Structure 1
Amino acid sequence: MDAIQNTIVQLSSPLSLTLIVVGTSLGIFVGAIPGLTGAMLIALTLPLTFTLDPQLAMTLLVSMYVGSISGGLITGTLLRMPGTPASVMTTLDGYPMSQQGQPGRALGLGIYASLVGGVISCAFLVSLSAPIARWSTQLGPFEYFSLVLMALVLIATIDGASLTRSLLSGTLGILAAMPGISAATGEVRLTFGFTPLNAGFKLLPVLIGLFAINQVLRDIANIDQKVPRVSVTHRGLWLTFADWKNQWLNMMRSSLIGTFIGILPGIGANIGSIAAYSAARNSSKTPEQFGSGSAEGIIASEAANNATVGGALIPLVAMGIPGSVIDAILLGALVLHGLQPGPRLFSDHPELVHTIMGTYFLANLVMFAVMIASVGFLAKLVRFPRPYLLPIILTFCIAGAFALSNRMFDVWVMLGFGLLGLVLERNRIPLAPFVIGFVLGPIAEENLSAGLMSSQGNWLPIVTRPISLLFVVISALLLFVPLVRQFRKKRVSKNETLEENTAEEASSILSSETGNENGEHASHAVWSRFGIPVWHMTAVLAIIGMLVFLYSGFFTNQQGLTQFPQRPIQAVVPFSAGGGTDLFARIIQKSITEDQLLEQPFVIINQPGGSGTIGSRYVKQARADGYKILCNHEGIITSKYSGKVNFGPEAFEPIAQTGEINLVVAVQKNAPYKNLAELLHDAEKHPGEVQFGTNFGALAHFAAKKIEQASGGEYFNYVQSGDGQKRYTMLIGGHIDATIFSLAEFLSYQGDGQIRALAVLSDKRQSVLPDVATASEQQIDAVVGNSFYWWAPEGTPQERIDLLADVLEQTMQSDSVQNSLQSLSIEPVFYRGEKLDENISQSEKKFSELVSGSTVRLPDFPFYIILATLFLMSIIVVQGIFLRQSPSSISHSSSKPRIWLAVCCFALLCCYVLVLEQGWLNYWLATALMIAVTGGTMAKWKPSYLPVLIELALLTGLGTEIVFTSVFSVVLP
């Protein structure tokens, strides 16, 4: 009770309330911008919280979390550009309703649904965290597969007008997600030797391309179309009694679905939104209205995606298991503040747990208040002059796609998928099933593969396991109901639908002709309300101030620097924020910054993908000048010998080895094995029956192979189990028999009382586990540890390597660093020179003798997906031949949109990306030129537009560079 009272006092303080308001508002703003995500905002803000109390830090970060998920509905509803993946389904009905002259109602429905979803999930978070989280661990790979299958059914029901086209779109999405390193086997596939594809296509660039870039190009082509007059009244904004009466069941159902989906680790808000939307559509009395402005669709999507936030926090606070990417960053924030995540948080730091819960509740209220208060202004975005708005949106899209992994490849992918989205929609192929297939396909494949590995290739558990069977039955019902409805429709109704669509296209084209000047003057009138002279004066002063800030050198510490380093040093961590390597690097970063060991900032860049291979390759190909270095563990060696990459330590200059962490073999608490020797003996007697959870090609996999090698055979049945959190949930759920954790991971999970250690893979016992024998003491020669290395590109001058090694050596001698590392059970060591080379050579020799792979032959999933895609394409071609007599939009040759303008602007955009990639101009200058030239082209170079356009271009270019580089220390293209 005292902890609750202290938490109430803490959260009611002016500072806490300010952080909640600021964090939620920032989250809404970032979530509303296509290309920027909540994960990016929280990762960038994390270093700024080092000086805050842990409770205040979590208050700020959780508020950003809530705001970022909710903010995505704004641009999705008004501009058909979902700000976040979670708001894709909202776009399907929010944008049509907005186009029907009801943007206020569309936003109001989404805001209310978000609040209800957040409050309901908060109730579960407060009251049932621990039991619900423990129940969720009973779901194994087959249950996850069946659950994802249930969500995949939406592909077949999302577009009732054309089942074949929906299925084709979904299979194309699944196929697009397959290139790269398979999450199921660790093998590289469908890259055709193009190494940047090893990481596959990332969701954010694909999503931005399909929706934002596609929509911008469509808007450019229709830039003469009359902009609808927007009138946002309280009647349209506030939900009526009839709305509550008709939608309360939908809100409750969607909120419960979102909460449940959020609890499951690794699923996410986008899948919660998909599942709730599917359930709402299939239980609706008017399913034909979905996709054309249905209130039910908006409410289902927004209630669910906001509820997943509370659901994902449940395993975080109850078990220390992150339910999403953002939760993994929050978990890392706890560690960086010296707190041990896991069940002991409740007993050791109850005030922190209550702070997280209270903040989540208050942030939902603040989110509602902020968005309701600003909805009138937000709705007027649809009337903002598009020559001003669209180039700025393109700027954020490109910055967001690049900042994801600091690769221009992702920017080109975004542009490519923008064109693909245009082609698909021009052929009446919906985009939503594509995104659904892209998101869910890899999850379904990974879990089905893990299930088949655990069952020795047996498919029957899909229908013999009760929970899995339940999901399969629900999937069949969800598919059967819309198919029956569709079967009842006559051909006459289909022809009427085609005629209505054609009439709508003709009327929209006609309106684009008649609304030329009226639309322009109506939208341009927005500026006149604020007063052009005041705007000009403010803009010029801001531009001058930004130029002074950027080039004075006062803030950047560049004056007087003549020796290395003259600019920030980028330390690339090839894993997501919040992971073990990221935490280690940020501890080092914190010490270097606080002790001012470098004259320039030391910046952490997370570049995940390909099991750490993408970030490693990025540094390998960087300029050998010491400004870009790599922080990685033994994965740089295991990736080479698992075949994921064709390079290893020899492609870098080693700087230092700065830490070692031991590995622990763990089993469930009630497992029949007393030690590792008994486990190995049982595996020898029953080969292939002991299910060993691991991530193929990762260090834990090599360590398990080392244990097998020590006994001279291959006895384990390896089951793909992902990262440490997922292996833990599979272990305590009884889906695997044994696995390997780092010592820090094991200690955080051990407090739950559901696992125990069989052996430590070290040459001596660990003080934190004095009763656990080493593998050597059990006559098993399996000493495998994990070391953290720092690398520079090959050819980096030796004097710069020595300087960086000196800095790292001073850092490792810091008491604060040693204390932080000991809290993570990392042994603070430091090696350089000959000793470092010797350690690397020994690790290479050890891992080169081991061969990784699966003992179960899995189906060739890409082959079957390609066959399905070709089959569906052939059906659509045949249908097109027989339905050729139906009217099409091609017949309106005299009133075509300005395609040439869209093509011209896309070419300018490609030139801008090429300039950034080659570094021919500074980012701010290239961005300002792109906005000015592209916007001027859209405005037909009318003099009335040019002054404001030039000012906006300079403000955006300078402001973006200053905020990203000076505030967040983020590298821009």
Structure 2
Amino acid sequence: MDAIQTTVVQLSTPLSLTLIFVGTSLGIFVGAIPGLTGAMLIALTLPLTFTLDPQLAMTLLVSMYVGSISGGLITGTLLRMPGTPASIMTTLDGYPMSQKGQPGRALGLGIYASLVGGLISCVFLVTLSAPIARWSTQLGPFEYFSLVLMALVLIATIDGASLSRSLFSGILGILAAMPGISAATGEVRLTLGFTPLNGGFKLLPVLIGLFAINQVLRDIANIDQKVPRVSATHKGVWLTFTDWKNQWVNMLRSSLIGTAIGILPGIGANIGSIAAYSAAKNSSKTPQQFGSGSAEGIIASEAANNATVGGALIPLVAMGIPGSVIDAILLGALVLHGLQPGPRLFSDHPELVHTIMGTYFLANLVMFAVMMASVGFLAKLVRIPRPFLLPIILTFCIAGAFALSNRMFDVWVMLGFGLLGLVVERNRIPLAPFVIGFVLGPIAEENLSAGLMSSHGSWLPIITRPISLLFVVVSALLLIVPLARRFHRQSDSKQETMHDDAEESAALNSSEILSENAEDESHSFWSRYGLPLWHAVAVMAIIGMTVFQFTGFFSNKSELTQFPQRPVQAVVPFSAGGGTDLFARIIQKSITENRLLKQPVVIINQAGGSGTIGSRNVKQARADGYKILCTHEGIITSKYSGKVNYGPEAFEPIAQTGDINLVVVMHQNAQHKNLAELLHYAEKHPGEVQFGTNLGALAHFAAQKIEQAYGGEYFNYVQSGGGQNRYTLLIGGHIDATIFSLAEFLAYRGDGQIRALAVLSKERNSVLPNISTAHEQGIDAVVGNSLYWFAPKGTPQERIDLLADALEQAMQSDSVRNSLRALSIAPVYYRDEKLNENISQSENIFSELVPGSTVQLPDFPFYIILATLLLLSIVLVQDKFLSQTPSTNRFSNCKPRIWLTICCFVLLCCYVLVLDQGWFNYWLATALMVTVTGGSMAKWRPNYLLILIELALLTGLGTEIVFTSVFSVVLP
């Protein structure tokens, strides 16, 4: 009770309330911009919290978490541009409702649902954290596969299109997710030798392309089409008693689904919204309205995706298991503040646990207030003339896609999927099943592969394990019942479709006015009352941004006589918030704040392909020292696992600044007391010990080194993903042993369910003085994880030395060394000969090992390609794919300006090419693109040009300042 009172007092202080308001508002803003993710925001903020009290730090970070999930509703509803993957399903109904003249109601439904979902999940977070989290560990790979299968079968019912088209779209989405390095086996597949594809297609560029770029191209083609007069007030934003009466069951059901999905590690808010949306449609009395502006669809999606936040916090606070990427960053924040997540957090630091819960509750209330207060302003976005709005949307789409991984490849992917979305929708193939297949396909494959590995290739556990069987039965019911209802209503639905099409066309014609007239009227009003003020504000803003942009250049001009003359980009080839990222940001913060270099160091996250995307980017960079790589032993293991054909020899080594011990771990109740006993048992029972690893990664190599040192092959390797997944499988009894980094082991051991068998180092670690090394147990296996800095091959030695000196000075800082120790990273420093010697020793160890799966898995890509071709044939034959004209397509309501669309798309590609090659500055190229594209849409009318030029300059300068100065994203 004292802890609760202390927490109430703590959260009632002006500082705490300010942090909640600022954090939630920033999260909403970031969530609304595609490409800027909540994980990115929290990772950037984390170093700033080192000086804060742990309770204040978690208050700020949890508030950002809540806001970032909610913010995606805004652009998804108003612009068909989902800011986050969690808003995919919201876009399906939010945007059509907005286009019908009800943006306020669409936003209001989503905001209310977000609040209810958050509060319901908060109840579970406060009351049932521990028992629910422990139950979730009973789910193994087969249970996860069956759960994902249950979501996949919803493809057949998620959209009102024909079954064959829905299934074809879904299987096409699964196929699109397969290129790159397989998460199940670590093998490179379906890349056709194109190395940038090793990381596959990222979800956000795919979503931005399918929805935003697709919609912009459609709007350009229909630029002369009549547009509805849209209310820009709060009208409809407040839910009525009738709304609550009709929707409370949907809100409750969706919130419970979202909470349950959030509890399961690695599933995510996007799957929660998909499951809730599907459940709402299957239980609706008007399922035909879904996808065309259904209130039920908006509520289901938003209630579920916000409830997943509270659900994901349950395993984090109860067991120290992060349920998502953001939760993993929060886990790292706790560790950096000297706290051990898990059950002991409740007893040792109850005030912190209550702070997390209280902040989550208050952040949901603040989110509701901020978004409701903004609805009137936000709704006006849809009234902006399209020649002004569409080029700005394109700018944010491109900047967002690039910001995700700082790769122009993602921008080209976005444009490609934009064309694909335009083509498939033109031919009445729904996008929703494609997205579901793209999201769920890799998860299903990874868990099925892990299950088959653990069962030595047997499929029987899918139906012999009770929970898995339950999910399979539910999947069958979810497939059969809606299909039966669909076929039962087949004759009536055809008539309804024709009637609805006629009504839709009539409604469109009756509610629309000529775009040109509307915009001229708006411009006339603007000219009479607000245009002079707009010009004054725009000019002042342009001057201010220009001064801000170039002040640094002129102020530092006297210093620009030696390297570096601009910020140094440090590429981290892993996600924001991971161990390597936190490590790099600690050192980057010291270098920048202490001015150890004349220019700051900027962290660039380029995740994908098990670290190979980022490393290849640095390898191919100009050898001038302005782009360097911060990575670990993965630079070596990727070479010897076959992911890439290069290793450290392709770079100039700068320094080694950290060492991490590896620990062999088993369940607390395991019969083996040390590693020697485990190997003795495995020798007598080969293949029985289920060893969880990420195939082809460091833990896999380390386990094989142990086998090699003992003289045989004894383990059955099970693909288990990252550390958090391996921990969940270990305590649930689904694997017998695994290898953690020291930091992971210390974070996970708090609940007393795991114990160490050996440390794979030369000497005992001072943090674990009672745990013997493998060498002490007679096993000559010394494997660690070292942290390196590299520059492109051919970088001048004087620049290598300058960077190495800066790293050395940073490593001498007490604050850096203490922060690294908090992450269980030994703060070492090696350069020159000693560095090269350490790298050679690691290569000698790993070159002797050839990791691979111990079970022959099905050729999933072959079967998916076969299924895709089969369904395509069915669509072509059964539905007369090539001969039918879409009945409900906006292109059919007017004469489209196809040539304008083609020209704008070509111009967009030229703009991306200019950025890719660096021919112009970003802001200048952007301003030119916005001016030319918008001017073409407006037919170069004089009354538009001045405003358009001002908007173009504001967009170019503004996006560069926001992305670069605020979020440290280096734009092309």
TM-score, length basis structure 2: 0.97
* Structure 1 residue 695 displacement after superposition: 0.3
Deviation, 1:244, is 1.4
The equivalences for 1:690-839 within 5 A come to 690-839=689-838
Matches of 2:904 and 2:233, distance apart in 1: 36
Q: How far does the alpha carbon of each residue in 1:742-793 deviate from its partner, in whole angstroms, 9 at most, with x for none? A: 1111111111100001111112222222222211111111111111111111
C-alpha distance in structure 2 between counterparts of 1:850 and 1:525, whole Å: 74
Residue 586 of structure 2 corresponds to which residue in structure 1?
A: 587
**1:314-325 → structure 2 map (5 Å cutoff):** 314-325=314-325
Q: SS of the counterpart of 2:590? A: helix
Q: Secondary structure at the match of 1:563?
A: coil
Could you tell me which residue of structure 1 aligns to residue 847 of structure 2? 848
Greater CA deviation, 522-531 or 40-49?
Answer: 522-531
1:457–1:856 contact (8 Å) kept in structure 2: yes
Output the CA distance in 1 between the equivalents of 2:260 and 2:528: 47
How far residue 342 of structure 1 moved from its aligned partner, in angstroms, is 3.5
1:636 Cα deviation after fit: 0.5
Cα deviation 1:595-641 (Å, max 9, x = unaligned): 32122111111111111111111111111111111111111000000
Q: Which amino acid aligns with 1:670?
A: N
Aligned positions of 1:615-694 closer than 5 A? 615-694=614-693
Q: Is the 8 A contact 1:36 1:396 kept in 2?
A: no
**Residues 793 and 755 of structure 1: CA distance in aligned 2, closer, same or farther (over 3 Å):** same
Gaps of 5+ in 1: none
**Does structure 2 conserve the Cα–Cα contact (< 8 Å) formed by 1:78 and 1:382?**
yes
Q: Distance in 1 between matches of 2:268 and 2:554?
A: 39
1:202 corresponds to: 202
One-letter code aligned to 1:907: V
Contact 1:687/1:716 (<8 A) preserved: yes
Distance 1:645 1:360 in 2: 43
Does the CA-based 8 Å contact 2:34-2:204 persist in structure 1?
no
1:7 CA displacement: 2.1
Q: Which amino acid aligns with 2:605?
A: N
Partner of 1:35: 35
Deviation at 1:201, TM superposition (A): 0.2
Q: Which amino acid aligns with 2:281?
A: R
Separation of aligned partners in 1, 2:965 and 2:234? 41
CA deviation string 1:428-482 (max 9, x = no partner): 0000111110000000000000001001111111111111111111111111111
What residue in structure 2 maps to residue 945 of structure 1? Answer: 944
Q: 2:436 maps to what in 1?
A: 436
1:67 maps to which residue?
67
TM value normalised by structure 1: 0.97
Deviates more, 1:304-313 or 1:874-883: 874-883
**Pair 1:193-2:196 in alignment:** no
| 2:179–2:189 contact (8 Å) kept in structure 1 | yes
Q: How far apart in 2 are the matches of 1:546 and 1:633?
A: 39
**1:395 to 2:398 alignment:** no
Amino acid at match of 1:74: I
Instruction: Give me the whole-angstrom Cα distance separating, in 2, the residues matched to 1:319 and 1:890.
Output: 50
Question: Partner of 1:115 in structure 2?
Answer: 115
* Cα contact 2:62–2:360 (8 A) shared by 1: yes
Q: Report whether the alignment pairs 1:8 with 2:27.
A: no
The structural deviation recorded for 1:528 is: 5.2
The 1-side partners of 2:573 and 2:888 are apart by: 48
Tell me the distance in 2 between the aligned counterparts of 1:886 and 1:391: 30
1:494-573 pair list within 5 angstroms: 494=494, 497-498=497-498, 500-501=500-501, 504=504, 515-524=514-523, 527=526, 531-553=530-552, 557-573=556-572
Residue by residue, what CA displacement relative to the aligned partner does 1:390-434 show, whole Å, maximum 9, x if unpaired? 111111111111111110000000000000000000000000111
Q: Is the 8 A contact 1:34 1:212 kept in 2?
A: no
Alpha-carbon distance in 2 for matches of 1:870, 1:23:
48
Give runs of ≥4 in structure 1 deviating > 6 Å: 509-512, 889-894
In structure 1, what residue type is equivalent to 2:149? L
What code does the residue aligned with 2:770 have? D
Is it true that 1:480 corresponds to 2:473 in the alignment?
no
* Matched residue, 1:458: 458
The residue that corresponds to 1:158 in the other structure is 158
Structure 2 counterpart SS, 1:777: coil
Which sits farther off after the overlay, 109-118 or 10-19? 10-19
Query: CA 1:876 to 1:387, structure 2 compared with 1: closer, same or farther past 3 Å?
Result: same
2:380 is the counterpart of 1:383? no
Match of 1:45 in 2: 45
Q: CA deviation at 1:40?
A: 2.7
CA contact (8 A) 2:572 2:629 kept: yes
- State the shift of 1:801 in Å: 0.7
- Kept after mapping to 2: 8 A contact 1:331/1:341: yes
- Residue 898 of structure 1 corresponds to 897
Q: Contact (CA 8 Å) 1:568, 1:627: kept in 2 or not?
A: yes
Q: Aligned pair in 2 of structure 1 residues 635, 314: CA closer, same or farther (>3 Å)? A: same
Contact 1:332 1:577 survives alignment (8 Å): no
Q: Answer yes or no: is the 8 Å Cα contact 2:11–2:358 preserved in 1.
A: yes
The 1:177–1:709 alpha-carbon spacing in structure 2 relative to 1, beyond 3 Å, is same
Query: Taking structure 1 as reference, are residues 969 and 374 closer, same or farther at Cα in structure 2, changes over 3 Å only?
Result: closer
On the 8 A contact 1:226/1:520 being kept in 2, the answer is no
Q: Which moved more, 1:557-566 or 1:262-271?
A: 557-566
User: What residue identity is the alignment partner of 1:828?
Assistant: P
Check conservation: 2:573, 2:612, Cα contact below 8 A: yes
AA partner of residue 87 (structure 1): S
Contact 2:760–2:781 (CA under 8 A) maintained in structure 1? yes
SS in 1 for 2:216: helix
Letter in 1 for 2:971: L
Q: Which residue of 2 aligns with 1:936?
A: 935
Task: Report which stretch shifted further, 816-825 or 601-610.
Answer: 816-825
Note closer, same or farther for the CA distance 1:254–1:783 as it changes in structure 2 (3 Å cut).
same
Q: In structure 2, how many angstroms separate the alpha carbons of the residues matched to 1:195 and 1:884?
A: 38
Structure-2 separation of matches of 1:803 and 1:361: 49
Quote the offset at 1:510 in angstroms. 9.9
Name the CA distance, whole Å, in 1 between partners of 2:271 and 2:502.
Answer: 33
Q: Distance in 1 between matches of 2:456 and 2:56?
A: 49
Deviations 1:507-534, CA, capped at 9 Å, x for gaps = 858988x624333235546745861111
Q: Which amino acid aligns with 1:92?
A: L
Give the aligned residue type for 2:348: D
Q: Which moved more, 1:18-27 or 1:729-738?
A: 18-27
SS in 1 for 2:228: coil
Kindly tell me: are residues 211 and 887 of structure 1, through their superposed partners in 2, closer, same or farther at Cα, counting changes over 3 Å?
closer
Amino acid at match of 1:899: I
Contact 2:620/2:792 (8 A) holds in 1: yes
Q: For residue 851 of structure 2, what is the amino acid of its counterpart?
A: S
Letter of the 1:30 partner, please give it: V
Structure 1 stretch 217-226 or stretch 187-196: which is displaced more?
Answer: 217-226
1:237 is paired with a residue whose SS is coil
Q: Contact between 1:160 and 1:486, CA under 8 Å: does it hold in 2?
A: no
1:306 is matched with: 306
For 1:794, the aligned partner's letter is K
Q: Verify the 8 A CA contact 1:557 1:599 in the aligned structure 2.
A: no
Alignment of 1:234-249 (within 5 A): 236-249=236-249
Q: Which amino acid counterpart does residue 802 of structure 2 have in structure 1?
A: L
Q: How far apart in 2 are the matches of 1:156 and 1:889?
A: 20
Q: Please report how far the alpha carbon of residue 44 of structure 1 lies from its aligned counterpart in structure 2 after TM superposition.
A: 3.1
User: Is the CA contact 2:655–2:788 (under 8 Å) kept in the aligned structure 1?
Assistant: yes
Give yes or no for contact 1:549–1:555 (8 Å, CA) kept in 2.
Answer: no
Aligned to 2:873: 874
Q: Which deviates further from its counterpart, 598-607 or 329-338?
A: 329-338
Coordinate RMSD, CA, aligned: 2.1
Distance 1:528 1:59, change over 3 A: farther
Change (3 A) 1:892 1:536: closer
Q: Which residue in the other structure is 2:296 paired with?
A: 296
Q: Supply the distance in 2 between the matched residues of 1:349 and 1:408 (Cα, whole angstroms).
A: 45
